[in-house]
Structures are given as structure tokens and as C-alpha cells.
Amino acid sequence: MSVLVILIALSIIVAGIFLFAFILSVKRGQFDDDYTPSVRMLFDDPPAIKEETV
Amino acid sequence: MEAIETIAPPKPPIAPKKPGTKETTHCYHCGEKCDHSIAIEDKYFCCEGCKFVFELLQENGLCNYYDLSNTPGIKVKGKFSSDKFAYLDNPDIQKKLLRFTDGKQSQVNFYLPQMHCASCIWLLENLHAIQPGVLHSKTNFQRKEIFIAFDTSVTSLRKVVELLAFVGYEPYISFDDNEKKRTKKVNRQKIYRIGVAGFSFSNIMMLIFPEYFSSGNISETYLVRIFSYLNLLLALPVFFYSASEFFVSAYKGLRQKWLNIDAPIALAILVTFSRSVYEILSGTGAGYLDSMTGVVLFMLIGRWFQDKTYDSFSFDRDYKSYFPLGVTLVKDGVETPVTISELKKGDRVIVRHNEMVPADGILLEGEASIDYSFVSGENNLSIKRKGELIYAGATQSGGSILIEVVNPVTQSYITQLWNNNDVFNGAKHVEKSFVHPWSRYFTWTLFTVAGVGAIYWAVVDTSKILPAVTAALIVACPCSLLLSATFTFGNMLRHFGRNKLYLKNASVIESIARIDTVVFDKTGTLTHTQQARIEFFGTNPGKQQERAIYSLAKQSAHPLSRLLANHLLETGTEPMAISDFKELAGKGVEGRIGDNLIRLGSSSFVRGTEKVAEQGTSEVWVSINDQVLGAYSIHNRYRPGVNKMASWFESQGYDLHVLSGDNDAEKENLQQIFGKNASLVFNQSPQNKLEYIKTLQSGKRKVMMLGDGLNDAGALKQSDVGIAVTENSGQFTPASDAILDSSEINKMDGFVRYARSGKGIVTIGFVVSILYNFVGLSFAVSANLSPLVAAILMPVSTITIVAIAGVASSIVARKTLGN
């Protein structure tokens, strides 16, 4: 049963990594805007490049 | 797409296609009704401005803009003058605005109030296709912000802003944006707290399971010990970090001798934690850490849910937000852009078309046709002659004028309101929520129950006193009251928002429920600003003549011509060619169509005789070849549904008042709408309005004020609930507790009814939670509370309360608001 201790320790470490990742993503502003990205991903056509600039 | 619907400014509805009738054409760019005079292929435009923008986008391959949503464009209100943004070339101003610059690349953040649809996002994020030098642009739709990075060697801040303004998204530029950034940080703290509590709660739940399911017979006792120590370790960050705001707030309250709802909650958390620590360290039990972390998590989520606000609105503006940042100063014939705060008495300033007069001043040169709609909500131009005084806040239309400043900005007519009244300094007094006293009663009851239990055990078995008392405090924490209140009010805020009443925060709901007096502003609040009732007196013009009148009116920028053109367009008229067009400021317009000379304008211009129009109406006279046909009389039009709304307030015994800056021409109409008991007061200055509210309040009335223009700013701020009414949510509104879309003013009765139901809904949730508490307390005082019972009761009661709050507030919303 002592293997449980190792497994529990591992699971808490893994959970801790996720907590850290969550805090990091909040800090980087990934949750500041929960609307615009959902619209942005639907734009598939980049604007046609002006011909005379080539 | 909900977010888009709630934030979008009102668009002219696309007319339904009726068979047989002529289809109305709408501008391909902005969707406004228009004729067929300006066209590219099969696309029609209402004005040259819209056509220009279309051509620019087409040239750059950005026509996708028009495919993403229907008529996404924003009507460009006349061309802005080339010097409008000249002050942005000033390095000092640049330093304040730019977020970052290294001489090569600069980054800037702007607030764009006009952003309203998916097309806007698309266009704004493809700015680099139009303007070389723009490296990157990214929008935040909910905050209506854009982040732009640009190459300073190719383009400049001024050019970027000019481009934004040209395509219709003129940024709102202000120097005191620091406030906004600060609130953003606080919100993140909340999310961290929730994250930590969630992490600890889920791990503790996992570790505590063996304890519950083994009924205490785990063969490997060292595992049980390890698990409980781990639990303790996991609970530490929740106790010291996540729950800290409860302790801080309770402490602050106690220092002011005020027992707020956080005090008993902090006590419950503290007792639960201490007892758990004792049990774990002494090896006598597993503690109640799972319940504690769970409760903290749910309460934090509830607070976060309730505090989610409307980022794109600002509820705390003062006059500075309305005035331009930069003005053009003239000294010895040289024009220099300066910031508005540098203006002194005696300075000479140029005000161009569509610009605002920054300070009270005397007109020196030019033809001033001044529009005070920004200040008063009135939509009329007035003509000023040389030497006349022009008040700050007026907008000039027509050519440029030169004025000499007589009062610095802070002492002008309109800003005096801010400077002479205490209301604008310091926070508004808000009555404390009913939740606090309730939690106090609850706490005293709880103490009594715990005390009775303690006395009982003192007689029977003294060793059980402490377990019974602590168990009672753990199980019957008033957090259910907090949960019930936060989730109910949070959900109500969303329902209000869906109906276009945007509240500053949840406490406004309770304030609305308490009011007994409603004060309305007339112009702009009860009446339309963009629409009018138009009648014709005289010999009715025929179809051809109407066409001609329309063609002429369309050429003029005067608000009355606009209204008239809009009115005549409904009949499906097409414009005709005009020659010899002349616009005479303050008089009218004339032009030749075919062989006919047509005049539109004031009585003295068209007929040669002065005639004062009836109050509350304006007249536009018409003559063809010097033969007077008659006049269009233009009346204010009340918003639909105002009648029904007012009679509901009257039937419910609310005191009704109407304050108007105008004279009493509309008195009879208003008395009919608001009933004979309503007080109608006319000729009110901004200061009068403020005093009026104060007088009402000194008679112990709770006042709700609805107003729009800057002239209502003092009254809105003074009243218990100030609601700013706006035609367009992108527009600026004076400081207020709530912002209401003007099309929904007829729902005001529903809003009040809904707000009044809030307390009832919270009570239902609270009563149900008390039933749970009875069960829990009966376990507790009998000194039988096992962690398992606590762990089951806690989530079950939490889920019930949240469900009741959500379902009940939605059902009542459907009843009172219609959705």
C-alpha cells in the first residue's frame, strides 16, 4: 500500500502543475477577453493584397 | 452572439419588404435610409463619407467587411478638419498616450466606443492592409479596445488616429485611463483566489474519500495520518490566501463598529479551521477542511459572478471626458496645438466644423451656428453674431470661428456645476444591503442555539461542550445567505443587461427597489432626439414639389433640414439636380431646380415677415418662385410606451416629477401622460435640477432620476438612483448608477418591478438554506456531527441555493421584463 503515498504525491504535483499553468495563463491575459477570439477564428480570408504594391 | 446583441448600438431596422410598395433603400455602408443619388454599381450610399470609406476598403481588398454583417459601417459625421488631431504630434502628449516606444516601434491602446459587430473586429484587425506601417492590431470586443503596434519610421500616431477616425472609429482619447488598469488587476486577484481554492478543494475531496467510505476502519493507519496532514497542507493556502478577503473585510467593518456579513463568515471559517487543525494534530479526527474549502470556493465564485461588470461602459465620467484634449491656439497669427488645460483667459482659439467650444468665449470672427445638443439635448442650431458669448460644450457647424476665451475651462458655465457642488467629490452614500442586518440576526440566533446546546451539555457531559458549539458554528455559517444574495443579484444584473439597462453594480438593484419618487428629464429622455412629428400647414405640395423640397433639404446639414429630408424620404422620393445652391446661416437654403427657385427656412427668410413659432415646435417655411406654399411644423415626439409606463408608476403610488430646461409649452401634454398629481417644473437650469432633487431628498424621499444630457449630470449624481438615458451605447453619458438604452425607456416599470422582486428571491433561497441548517444544527448540538454529514450538507445546500437563485430570478424576469 505504500505505493499509494508515491502516487498521491505524484497526483498532487501534477495538479499543482495545472494550477501553476492556470495562474500563468491568467497572468498573461488569456482570460481577459473571452469573446473576441471566438469571432476572430471565423475570419478565414486574409485581405487581398493590393496589386500595385507587388 | 449574445454579447454582440447586447452591446450593439441601435441600427435603423431594415424595412420589411411589402409587396406592392416601393422598397426603401439603405446605405450599403451604414444602413441609414437613403436615395439613389450616390451609387457604385448596385450599391447605394447615404453620403459621400460612407462612399469614401467603401472605396478605401474596396481598393485594399477589405470588402469582406460587408459580408460578415449587414451594413456594419458607422456614418462619418462630416469630414473632420485636417488639424483636428494635430496635437498628437506633440511629443509630450505622445509620451502620455503611448504604452511603449523605442523610437522604432510604438504601441498604443485606444478605446473605440463605436465598435459593435464582427465586421468591426475584422476591419480593425486588418488595419495594416490600409495603412503601411501598422504592424499589428488586436481588438478586445467587450472592452471595446484596440491595441495597435506601428512602425514610427513609416507612420505616426496622428496618422493612425486619423485613419481610425476616417473609417468611422474615432478613438476616445483621455489621459486618465489609469483607473481602468487598476481595476483590471483586482479582478485577476479574484481569479487567482478562485483557482487556488478550487485546486485545494478538489484535492482535499479526493484525499478525504477513504475516510468516508471506510467508516473509520482503515487498516493502514499511517495512510490516514498522511492524508489528513496533506489535507491540512492543502487547506493552508485557502485559509491564508483565498479566504483572506473575508477576514480583511470583517476586520474593516469591526473597526468602524459595523458588523457586516463577512464577520460571521470569517468567524465560521476561523472556527472550522481551528477545530480541524486541532483534530488532525491530536489525531482525533479528520477535520472539516473539505467543507471549509468548498464553502470558500463557492462564496468566491458567487462574488465573482455578481461583480462581473460591463467593461465597455464608464459610470464615472465628469465633464473632462466630454471636452476635446487639444485645441488650436492662435497667437500673433500662428496656430499652435495645445492641451485644453493650458487655456487661459484672453487666449484666442479656433473652433472648426463639428468641434466643441472648449471654454466660454466671445465670438471674434466667423459665422457661428451653434448646437447645444450636447449640453441640453435640444437639437436646434442657434446663430451667434460677433461679440456674443458662446458657452463651453457647444458644437460649431459650418465654417471655422475664432473665439476669445473669457473663462478658463474649469470655470465655464457647464463645468461650474462640477466645481461648486459637493456631490461630485467623494463617493455617493449608498445604503447598506439588507443582507448585513439579516446576517446579524442570523448570527445572534445561532449564538443562542449554540449557547442552549452548551448549557445542556454542561449539565449532561462537559466534555461535549466544545464539540457541540464548534460544530454548530461550522454547519450553520451564514454563507448560504451570501450565496443566495450574490447569485440572485448576479443573475438579475445579466437580465437587466439583456434588456439594455446596464447597472453599475449589484447594490443599484436594491436602491431601485427602495425608491418612491421618480423624476424625468423631458428633452431627450421622454422625447426622441432623432425623430419628430412633422405636419404641413398651407397648400399641400404635389409629388414633384415634394421631391424638389426633399432634394434641397438633403443638401443642408441643419438639424431641421435633416429631419425634414428624413420625413420626406419615407414617401420614396428621389433627388433632383440643383443649381445655384446657397445656404445662409441662420436663415435657410435656396436652390434652383429646373426653372423653379425654391427656398426653405425661417419665416423671415422665406416670407419676409418675422413669426415666432409656437413653443416646443419649429417651423420650416417653403416657397417656390417667391410664392409661399406654407410651413412644415416640427414637434417633439414622445417615445412610444411612455404613457403606459407613467400610468403604472402613478397607480403604484410613486411620486412623479418632470424637470425640463424648456418652457411650459408641453405642460398639458405632459400632465395628461403623467396624471394630475405629477409635478411639472419648467425652465430649470442644471443647478436648479440638482437643488430640486436635494429638496425632495430632504423630505425623506428616495429619488430615481432619468436624464440624458450634461445638464442633468448634477441631478443624476445627487439622486439615489441616477439613470443616464442614451440613444447609442457608444455615446458618452454623464456619471450615473445605470445606463439605459433610450428605446427601452417604456420598460422602466418592468425594471422597477423586477428590482423589487430581488429581495423576495434572496429570501426564498435563504429560507431553504435555513431548513438545511436545522438538520445540520440538530446533528451539531447533539454533538454528533460527523465530517461526512457536514460534507454532504454543504454541497447539497449550496447547489439548491444557486439553483433557486438562478431559476427564480429568470422566471421573474420573464414575467416582468418579457424575457
pLDDT in tens, B320-339: 666 777 788 888 877 887 77
Q: What percent of chain B has pLDDT over 70?
A: 86
| Amino acid in position B230 | L
Phi (first) and psi of residue B704, to 5 degrees: -110, 130
A26 and B60 within 8 Å at the Cβ level: the answer is no
Q: Which of A12, A34, A47 sits opposite B126 (nearest CB)?
A: A47
Answer yes or no: do B192 and A1 touch at CB < 8 A. Answer: no
* Residues B133 and B155: beta-carbon distance below 8 Å: yes
- CB-based contact A39 B207, cutoff 8 Å: no
Split at pLDDT 50, 70, 90, the class of B560 is confident
Question: In this model, does residue B553 exceed pLDDT 90?
Answer: no
Whether the CB-CB separation of B213 and B205 falls below 8 Å is answered with no
pLDDT on residue B169:
85
Residue with cell 494534530: B281
A51: nearest CA partner in chain B = B60
What pLDDT was estimated at residue B512?
92
Q: Which of B171, B167, B170, B169 has its CA nearest to residue B59?
A: B167
B60 vs A12, A45, A47: nearest CB: A47
Comparing B704 with B636, the larger pLDDT belongs to B704
Residues of B with a Cβ under 8 Å from any A Cβ are 3, 59-62, 64, 68, 118, 121-122, 125-126, 129, 139-143, 184, 188, 191-192, 195-196, 199, 202-203, 206-207, 220, 223, 226-227, 230, 234
pLDDT at B388 over 50: yes
Average of per-residue pLDDT across B174-197:
69
From the CA of A22, how many Å to the nearest CA of chain B?
7
Do B397 and B368 form a contact (C-beta atoms < 8 A)? no
Shortest CA gap A42–chain B (Å): 10
From chain A, the residues in CB contact with B59 under 8 A are: 50
What is the nearest CA distance from B188 to chain A, expressed in angstroms? Answer: 7
Q: Which of A18-22, B201-205, B465-469, B745-749 has the lowest mean pLDDT?
A: B465-469
B230/A49 Cβ within 8 A: no
What does residue B181 show for φ and ψ, rounded to 5 degrees? -65, -35
Task: Compute the distance between CA of residue B1 and CA of residue B8 in angstroms, rounded to an integer.
Answer: 11
Instruction: Give the closest residue to B745 by CA, choosing from B526, B532, B574.
Output: B526
**Which residue in this structure is represented by grid cell 491575459?**
A29
User: Does residue B364 have a pLDDT over 60?
Assistant: yes
How confident is residue B184, by pLDDT bands cut at 50, 70 and 90? Answer: low
pLDDT at B301: 92
CB contact (8 A) between residue B141 and residue A43: no
The yes-or-no verdict on residue B753 having pLDDT over 90 is yes
Locus of grid cell 485645441: B327
User: What CA–CA distance (Å, rounded) separates B443 from B392?
Assistant: 56
What integer pLDDT is reported at residue B704 of this predicted model? 93
When scoring A33, A41, A44, A51 by the number of chain B Cβ atoms within 10 A, the one with the most, hence best to mutate, is A33
Arithmetic mean of pLDDT over chain A: 80
How high is the mean pLDDT of chain B?
A: 80
**Res B264: pLDDT:** 86
Minimum-distance CB partner of B118 among A39, A45, A47:
A39
pLDDT (tens digit per residue) in B108-166: 888 887 888 888 888 888 888 888 888 888 888 877 888 899 998 888 888 888 888 88
Distance CA B389, CA B392 (A): 10
The distance of A19 to chain B (nearest Cα, Å) reads 7
pLDDT above 70 (res B316): no
Closest chain A residue by Cα to residue B123: A47
- Give phi and psi for B615, each to the nearest 5: -60, 145
Out of B1-10, B185-194, B685-694, which region has the weakest mean confidence (pLDDT)?
A: B1-10
- The number of C-beta contacts closer than 8 angstroms across A and B is 71
Mean pLDDT over B252-264 rounds to: 85
Looking at residue B495, what is its pLDDT? 92
Write the residue in B61, B206, B234 that is nearest to A48 by C-beta.
B61
A-chain CB neighbours of B208 within 8 Å are none
User: Over the stretch B34-54, which tens digit does the pLDDT of each residue have?
Assistant: 777 777 877 888 777 788 888
By C-alpha distance, which of B132, B112, B8, B117 is closest to B66?
Answer: B117
Ranking B186-195, B499-508, B521-530, B644-653 by mean pLDDT, the lowest is: B521-530
Q: Which of B88, B710, B87, B95 is nearest to B349 (CA)?
A: B87
- B658-670 pLDDT, tens digit per residue, is 988 777 777 888 8
To which residue does cell 432619468 refer?
B706
Nearest-Cα residue of chain A relative to residue B312 = A33
Residue whose C-alpha cell is 443624476:
B716
- In the predicted structure, residue B176 carries a pLDDT above the cut 60: no
Of A15, A42, A46, the CB nearest to B199: A15
A interface with B, Cβ–Cβ below 8 Å: 1, 4-5, 8, 11-12, 15-16, 18-19, 22-23, 26-27, 31-36, 39-40, 42-43, 45-50
- The larger pLDDT score, comparing residue B684 to residue B411, is at B684
pLDDT, average across residues B383-404? 81
pLDDT at B554 over 50: yes
Question: Quick check: B192 and A23 CB within 8 A?
Answer: yes
Q: What is the dihedral of CA B127, B132, B135, B136, to 10 degrees?
A: 0
| Mean pLDDT of the B450-478 span | 83
How much of chain B, in percent, has pLDDT values that exceed 90? Answer: 14
ipTM of the complex: 0.86
Question: Averaged over B187-216, what is the pLDDT?
Answer: 85
Residues in chain B within 8 Å Cβ distance of A42: 118
- Give the separation between CA B655 and CA B643, rounded to whole angstroms: 15
The per-residue pLDDT for B421 is: 67
Q: What is the pLDDT of residues A2-49, one digit of tens each?
A: 788 888 889 999 999 999 999 999 988 888 777 888 888 877 766 655
Is the pLDDT reported for residue B182 higher than 70? no
Q: Residue A50: pLDDT above 70?
A: no
- Chain B residues near residue A31 by CB distance under 8 angstroms: 191
- State yes or no: pLDDT of B181 exceeds 60: no
Flag whether pLDDT at B519 surpasses 90.
yes
Higher pLDDT, B422 or B267: B267
- All residues of chain A having their beta carbon less than 8 Å from the beta carbon of residue B220 are 1
More confident residue, B291 or B665: B291
- Among B343-347, B427-431, B540-544, top mean pLDDT goes to B343-347
Q: Pick the closest to residue B721 from B504, B521, B527 (CA basis).
A: B504
For residue B88, the distance in angstroms to the closest alpha carbon of chain A comes to 29
**Which residue pairs from B41-49 have beta carbons closer than 8 angstroms and sit at least 24 positions apart in sequence?**
B46/B75, B47/B75, B47/B76, B49/B75, B49/B76, B49/B77, B49/B78, B49/B79
* Cβ within 8 Å, pair A19-B199: yes
Nearest alpha carbon to residue B763 among B509, B440, B476, B434: B434
Q: Are B125 and A40 an interchain contact pair (Cβ–Cβ within 8 Å)? A: yes
Give the pLDDT band of residue B242 (cuts 50, 70, 90).
Answer: very high
- pLDDT, residue B730, reads 58
Chain B neighbors of A34, CB-CB under 8 A: 142
Q: For residue B83, is pLDDT > 90?
A: no
Of A11, A22, A43, the CB nearest to B122: A43
pLDDT in tens, B767-788: 888 888 788 778 777 777 777 7
Is B178 a residue whose pLDDT tops 70? no
Instruction: Name which of B4, B69, B140 to mutate to probe chain A: the one with the most chain A Cβ atoms within 10 A of its Cβ.
Output: B140
Q: Return the pLDDT at B8.
A: 41
Contact A40 B195 (CB under 8 A): no
**What average pLDDT does range B226-249 have in this prediction?**
92
Chain-centroid distance of CA B735 in Å reads 10
Spell out the SS3 assignment of B234-266.
HHHHHHHHHCHHHHHHHHHHHHCCCCCCHHHHH
Report angle CA B758, B500, B748 to the nearest 5 degrees.
Answer: 60
CB B389 within 8 A of CB B404: no
**Position B631, amino acid:** A
Our CA-based measurement puts residue B140 at a distance from the nearest CA of chain A, in whole angstroms, of 6
CA B791, B795, B796, B798 torsion-angle sign: positive
Interface contact B199-A16, CB threshold 8 A:
yes
Nearest chain A Cα distance for residue B186, angstroms: 12
Per the CB < 8 Å rule, is B203 touching A15? yes
**Is there a contact between B142 and A33 if contact means CB atoms under 8 Å apart?**
yes
Residues B519-542 have a mean pLDDT of 80
Nearest CA in chain A to B187: A32
